[in-house]
Amino acid sequence: MTRTITLAFTGASGMPYGVRLLEQLLSSGARVYLAYSQVAQVVARQELDLALPSRASEAEAFFSEKFNAKAGQLSVFGREEWFAPIASGSSAPDAMVICPCTMGTLAAVAAGLAQNLIERAADVMLKEGRPLILVPRETPLSAIHLENMLRLARAGAAILPANPGFYHHPASVQDLVDFVVARVLDRLGIENGLVKRWGAEEP
């Protein structure tokens, strides 16, 4: 059975994580609903020299071609597209990931504000008891940040900071990116071989 995953990019540093995660989700065969904020477009250009299209239809065509998605596998929604399936619990996906996740988005979700499609989609996941994974990239963390994370964890969300490990002896930035993406995929229950597992013997 094909799994449906909502993926959201927000304006935190760490866009390489989000784009790599999108690639891996599509290659796994998952159906993906994608949304991203306006600031995410700025960060994508800054960190990846990637111009994310403002029109959802253009973004859908761009990423589908870039990652060889099957017809209908990827759907991209605008920030105010309230008739998107991810805006209602009656059509909730199997899981949602916000990667990267700004502290502003994290705070809004923790407060149940739901003022744009990304926040509403996250709110739907919590109220429906579906997996919600937030990948924040911020340091240092203030008491407000920590309290918001705790509130979300108690509500059922998974807080998975973009903190790569080093026991797999990374040789490149891509290796560090893949470490975090692999942990997200693990949490989603999607098999992957992006990094060497702890305790695994050398081939």
Q: What is the b/e burial string over 106-143, where b = at least 16 CB atoms within 10 angstroms of the residue's CB?
A: bbbbbeeebebbbbbbbbbbbeeebbbbbbbbbeeeee
Q: What is the pLDDT of residue 12?
A: 97
Q: Which two tokens stand for residue 80?
A: 């105010």
Banded pLDDT at 121 (limits 50, 70, 90): very high
Question: CA-CA distance, 72 to 29, in Å (whole number)?
Answer: 11
Q: What is the pLDDT of residue 202?
A: 58
Instruction: Determine the average pLDDT of the residues in 3-19.
Output: 98
Indicate whether 132 pLDDT > 70: yes
Indicate whether 129 pLDDT > 60: yes
Which is it for the CA torsion 73, 104, 153, 129, positive or negative? negative
Please give the mean pLDDT across all residues of the chain. Answer: 95
CATH topology of domain 4-188: Rossmann fold (3.40.50)
pTM of the model: 0.96
Task: Cis check for the bond before 170: say yes or no (omega within 30 of 0).
Answer: no
Which is it for the CA torsion 85, 6, 65, 59, positive or negative? positive
53-106 tens-digit pLDDT: 999 999 999 999 999 999 999 999 999 999 999 999 999 999 999 999 999 999
* Residue spans per domain, the chain: 4-188
Q: How far is CA 149 from CA 5, 101, 109, 145, 157, in A?
A: 22, 12, 10, 6, 9
171 contacts 144 by C-beta, under 8 angstroms: no
29-49 tens-digit pLDDT: 999 999 999 999 999 999 999
Indicate whether 180 pLDDT > 60: yes
Q: 76: helix, coil or strand? A: strand
Position 127, amino acid: K
Banded pLDDT at 181 (limits 50, 70, 90): very high
The share of the chain scoring above pLDDT 90, in percent, equals 93
- Cα within 13 Å of Cα(156), Cβ side: 13
Banded pLDDT at 199 (limits 50, 70, 90): confident
Q: Which two tokens stand for residue 97?
A: 């990931």
Indicate whether 203 pLDDT > 60: no
Q: What is the pLDDT of residue 197?
A: 85
97-116 tens-digit pLDDT: 999 999 999 999 999 999 99
Q: In degrees rounded to 5, what are phi and psi of residue 199? A: 85, -5
